[in-house]
Amino acid sequence: MTEDREWPGEWLRGVLPQAVLRVLDDGPTYGYALAARLAEAGIGDIKGGTLYPLLGRLEAAGHLTVEWRAGDGGPGRKYYEITPEGRRHLHDLVERWRRFAAVVDTHLTGPPPGREDTRG
């Protein structure tokens, strides 16, 4: 892990779909703005080579829709919007994440399974 990346890539791959859907739950946006929101949230700088294929997978799964919008004097942009199915999927992922995070936290910070806590 390099010093400019706080989170290991494996962690980001595991949480990025729900993080993207969470941003889109606030309203439609385009890829660059979505990446900026993720960075502002502390998730990190997500490159286009990671973000856009994920957006394509989320669209194929029915979790978001895509609409081209004309730019103001510049090129058009693809805007992404969460679908009702995507919103249900997001809420399910969030609940499952909470349970998973609690299990992992207990495992990592508690005594080893089958042993008493001897840390005093």
Taking alpha carbons only, the member of 27, 26, 82 closest to residue 59 is 82
pLDDT of 53 over the 50 cut: yes
Tell me the whole-structure pTM to 2 decimals.
Answer: 0.83
pLDDT of 63 over the 90 cut: yes
94 token code pair: 């969030």
pLDDT of 69 over the 70 cut: yes
Virtual torsion, Cα 84, 85, 86, 88, nearest 10 deg:
90
pLDDT of 106 over the 80 cut: yes
